[in-house]
Amino acid sequence: MKHLIFAIVFIAASAGIAWNLRRLIGYLKVGKPENRFDHVWERVKNVLVVAIGQSKLMREPVAGAIHAMIFWGFLVLLAAVIESIIEGLIPGGNIAWLGPIYSAITISQDVFCLSVLVGVVWAWWRRSVVKVKRLQGDAAEKKDATLILALIGTIVASLLLTNAARLGAGAEHPWAVRPIGMLLHPLFSNPATATVVFEVMWWLHILTILGFMNYLPYSKHLHVITSVPNVYFGSLETVNSLKKINFEEEGIEKFGVVDVEDFTWKQLLDGMTCTHCGRCTSVCPANTTGKVLDPREVILQVHHRTMDRAPKFVEMLAAQNGVATGSGETPAMADDGKKLIGDYVSVEGLWQCTTCMACIQECPVMIEHVPAIVDMRRSMVMMDANFPPQLQSAFQNMENNFTPWAFSASERADWREGTEVKTVEEDNEGEVLFWVGCAGAYDDRYKKVTRSFSELMDIAGVNYRILGTEEKCTGDPARRAGNEYLAQMLIQMNVETMNNAGVQKIVTSCPHCFNTIANEYPEFGGKYEVLHHTTFIDQMVKQGKINTMTPMQAKVTYHDSCYIGRYNNNYEAPREMLKSIPGVEIVEMERNRSRGFCCGAGGAQMFMEETEGKRINIERTEEALNTGAEVVATACPFCMTMMSDGVKSKLPDGGVVVKDVAELVLESVKGAG
C-alpha cells in the first residue's frame, strides 16, 4: 500500500513540477529570440566554475561559505533523493549495490547534511539577528526566505533522522557508512520505535522535497531552479558592448524596451533568476550614495511585470494560433493600464545608472543589469522623448558639433598648436592613429594629458597621426543615454572616415572611446587593433623606448576607471607604469581593481546633475584621501574631472593633486618630478 500511495503522490507532484516548468518556459517565449546556444563547452565550463564552483559568491568569503555549504550539500544529497524515490516506488529498492561507491556516498551525505544544517542556521542568523542590510527585503520576502530555510532544514534533518532510525530498526543497507547516523541511532534503540520513526521521517523527507519543488515556481527563490540554466546561458565574454538596433528592419515599430515582450528571453530569465541577495545593490555607486536606483529592484520588477503580463500574452498568442487554423479573429493584447517603466521600474532610478557594471561583476548568477537599463532608456529617449533636460544640449551638440560640449568642430585639433603633430589628411604614413577624444581635444585640463601622451610618443619614436577635425564623438555618451539613433550616426561617420584612411591600429587615452571603438565598432564594420594609452605606455616602457626616469618621491593611489577595468579587465598596466617610476609608493584604496568604485561620470552622468543623496565623486574622493596619498592617479578624462572636483571640494586649500598616469611618467622622464 505504501508504494501505491507514494506512486500516486510522486506522479501528481511530478506532473505539478512539469506543468510549472512548461508554464515558465512559455513565459520566456514572450521575449525576443536571442542565440545563447552556441559554444556549448565554454558554457559548461561557466557552469562548473560559476554555478558549481560558486566563484562569484566566494568573492564575499562569509556569505560564499554559507551558500556553498547549502548548495554543495544539496548536490551531494541528490543521490539520497533518488534513493528515496526508488525506495518509495520499488519494494526493497535501493542503490546499495554500488558497493564501495555507496559507502562514499553515504559518508558524504551525512557530512553534507550537517554542513547544510549549519549553513541554514548561519543564514537565518545573518538575516534575522545580524540583519545584513542587503538581505533585508519587505515582509513577504522575509517570510518567504524564512520558509525556504525551514524547508531546507527539514529536508536534511529528516534525512539524518531517517538514516539513524534505519540503523536502530536493523534495516540498514549493506556498504552504508553513516557517521552522523551512528551518533544518533542510540536515540532509537527500540527496533519497534525506530521502525515507526523511520517511516514518519521518510515520508516527511520525501514529501517536503516534492512540496519544495512545487512551491519554488511561486516563490521568491525560483532561482533554485533557474540559476544553473541562467549561468549556462550567460554571456561568455565581459558585457562590454550594447546590442545594435537595426533601424532598417522591416516592420520595426518600437525602439528599445517599452514592455517585457521587448526584452529577449534571456533577459526575462534573468528576472526569474534573481536570488534577492542584494550583492548588485550593495556595490551600486548610485544606491550607495543614497539614490533611488536599486539594481536588484530593477530586475525584480522586470520579473513582476513578466508574471503579470506574460500569462495574458501567452493566451493572446494561443488565440492567434487558433486564428491561423481558422477559428476566429485575431485578438489584441489587452491594455491593463500599467507600464513597465514608471509603474514597475523607477524612471528616476534608470537615469541614475553610471553603467559602471559593478552589479554584473558581483551577480552570482550572471544577470546582466546594465543592458536592460540601457534598453529601457532607449525607449524613453526614442519613443517618448523622455529624458533629463541636461541631456538635450548634449544631444544637440553631438548632432551639430560632433561633441557633447558646445565647441566648434573646427577647433578639435587646436590643442596641437606649437607641436609637430600631423593629421591623417596632412600625412597618411602613420603606423598608429591617436584617437584624441572630445575631452582630450576640448577640455582645458585634459588637453594637458593629450599633450603629455603625445610627447611621450614622440620620445618613444612612435609614428602616429590624428584625425583632427575629421574625428567625431565615438557615440558612447549618446548610446549609454539611450539615443541609439544619434550614436549610430556618429559611429558610421567615424568608421567611414577611418576605413577610408586605412586605419588599422588605434591608441586612445579615453576608456569610453577605447571600449566603444574596440568592442562596438566591429559590428558597424570598424575592425581595428585598439589600445588604451596605459597599455601602450606600459609597452613602450618595457620595450625600453621610454627610460632614464628621474626618481619621484610620492605616495600615489590609482583610481580604476570602470571602462578599462571591469569593462576590459585592464587593472595591472596602469599600476605597472606607476611602479616603473623610481620612488613612487602605490597605496591602494579599499575598493580597487574589480571592486573599484565608480567616479560617477559614466552612463552619460557626466552631462547630468546629481540631485539626490551624496555625490558619487565625493564618496570616491574621500576613499582616495583616506589612503594618505599625495597624488590621485587616473587614466580617464571623466575620472580626472570627477576626482579633481572632489579633491577641490574636500581640500580647497590644496595638498593633493590629481594627475593622469601619462603626466606622471612624462614628469619622471623629463626630471620634472
406 to each of 389, 399, 400, 412, 438, how far by Cα in Å?
16, 11, 9, 12, 11
Residues 6+ away with beta carbon under 8 Å from 10: 85, 88, 89, 210
pLDDT value, residue 398: 98
406 and 274 co-located in one domain: no
Q: Is residue 118 over pLDDT 90?
A: no
Instruction: Write down which residue in 173, 195, 221 finishes a domain.
Output: 221
**For 614, how many CA atoms within 13 A lie in the half-sphere containing its CB?**
15
Task: Compute the distance between CA of residue 20 and CA of residue 465 in angstroms, rounded to an integer.
Answer: 61
206 and 127 co-located in one domain: yes
211 and 306 co-located in one domain: no
Q: Is residue 3 over pLDDT 90?
A: no
Q: How sure is the predictor about 63, in pLDDT bands with cuts at 50, 70 and 90?
A: confident
Mean pLDDT of the chain: 92
Does any domain span residue 253? Answer: no
Where residue 329 sits, what CATH number does that domain have? 1.10.1060
Instruction: Summarize pLDDT for 355-395 with one digit per residue, the tens.
Output: 999 999 999 999 999 999 999 999 999 999 999 999 999 99
The 3-state secondary structure of 493-533 reads HHHHHHHHCCCCEEEECCHHHHHHHHHCHHHHCCCCEEEEH
Task: Compute the distance between CA of residue 5 and CA of residue 629 in angstroms, rounded to an integer.
Answer: 72
pLDDT value, residue 417: 94
Higher pLDDT pick, 490 / 97: 490
377 and 484 co-located in one domain: no
Instruction: Write down which residue in 221, 237, 252 finishes a domain.
Output: 221
Coil, strand, or helix at residue 432?
Answer: strand
Q: Is residue 333 over pLDDT 70?
A: no
Does any domain span residue 265? Answer: yes
Q: Cell 549609454 identifies what position?
A: 480
449 and 509 co-located in one domain: yes
Higher pLDDT pick, 140 / 531: 531
pLDDT value, residue 263: 97
- Number of other residues whose CB lies within 10 A of the CB of residue 558: 26
42 and 172 co-located in one domain: yes
Q: Which of 253, 303, 245, 271 is nearest to 523 (CA)?
A: 245
94 and 148 co-located in one domain: yes
95 and 125 co-located in one domain: yes
Does any domain span residue 133? Answer: yes
Higher pLDDT pick, 73 / 247: 247
527 and 553 co-located in one domain: no
Instruction: Summarize pLDDT for 639-668 with one digit per residue, the tens.
Output: 999 999 999 999 999 899 999 999 999 999
Does any domain span residue 387? Answer: no
pLDDT value, residue 287: 97
Give the Cα-Cα-Cα angle 558, 563, 567 (nearest 5 degrees).
115
Q: Is residue 55 over pLDDT 50?
A: yes
pLDDT value, residue 186: 82
Pair type for strands 657-660 and 584-586: unpaired
9 and 123 co-located in one domain: yes
Q: Which of 76, 97, 94 is nearest to 85 (CA)?
A: 94
The model's pTM is 0.92
Coil, strand, or helix at residue 79?
Answer: helix
pLDDT average, residue stretch 34-56: 94
Alpha helix ranges (H) inside 388-530: 390-400, 438-442, 444-460, 476-480, 484-500, 511-519
How many residues are listed for the chain in this entry?
673
pLDDT average, residue stretch 76-84: 82
517 and 576 co-located in one domain: no
pLDDT value, residue 327: 44
Does any domain span residue 388? Answer: no
pLDDT average, residue stretch 241-260: 92
Q: How sure is the predictor about 673, in pLDDT bands with cuts at 50, 70 and 90?
A: very low
> In terms of residue numbers, what domain contains 471?
394-541
Q: How sure is the predictor about 400, in pLDDT bands with cuts at 50, 70 and 90?
A: very high
pLDDT value, residue 323: 56
Does any domain span residue 249? Answer: no
Q: Is residue 51 over pLDDT 70?
A: yes
Angle, helices 295-324/2-28, rounded to nearest 10 degrees: 90
Higher pLDDT pick, 319 / 432: 432
Strand order in the sheet with 631-634: 584-586, 554-558, 631-634, 657-660
Does any domain span residue 242? Answer: no
410 to each of 395, 500, 505, 510, 571, how far by Cα in Å?
18, 20, 25, 21, 36
Residue 374 Cα to chain centre, angstroms: 13
pLDDT average, residue stretch 26-34: 94
Q: Which of 288, 281, 287 is nearest to 363 (CA)?
A: 281
Where residue 537 sits, what CATH number does that domain have? 3.40.50.1860
Task: Compute the distance between CA of residue 652 and CA of residue 113 in angstroms, rounded to an integer.
Answer: 59
Q: Is residue 229 over pLDDT 90?
A: yes
Comparing 48-52, 91-95, 124-128, 333-337, the range with the smallest average pLDDT is 333-337
Comparing 59-73, 230-244, 500-514, the range with the smallest average pLDDT is 59-73
Does any domain span residue 621? Answer: yes
Q: Which of 503, 502, 504, 495 is nearest to 524 (CA)?
A: 495
Phi, psi (degrees; rounded to nearest 5) at 465: -140, 170
How many independent structural domains does the chain possess? 4
Tally DSSP H helices, then E strands, for the chain. 26, 8
pLDDT average, residue stretch 457-468: 97
Q: Which of 592, 552, 558, 553 is nearest to 575 (CA)?
A: 558
For the CA atoms of 274, 276, 277, 281, the dihedral, rounded to the nearest 10 degrees, stands at 90
Instruction: Write down which residue in 164, 197, 221 finishes a domain.
Output: 221
Where residue 650 sits, what CATH number does that domain have? 3.40.50.10700
- Residues 482-507 as b/e (b if ≥16 CB within 10 A, e otherwise) read bbbebbbbbbebbbebbeebebeebb
pLDDT average, residue stretch 472-476: 98
Q: What percent of the chain has pLDDT over 90?
A: 71
437 and 560 co-located in one domain: no
Q: How sure is the predictor about 329, in pLDDT bands with cuts at 50, 70 and 90?
A: very low
pLDDT average, residue stretch 290-309: 96
Q: Is residue 274 over pLDDT 80?
A: yes
Q: How sure is the predictor about 325, in pLDDT bands with cuts at 50, 70 and 90?
A: very low
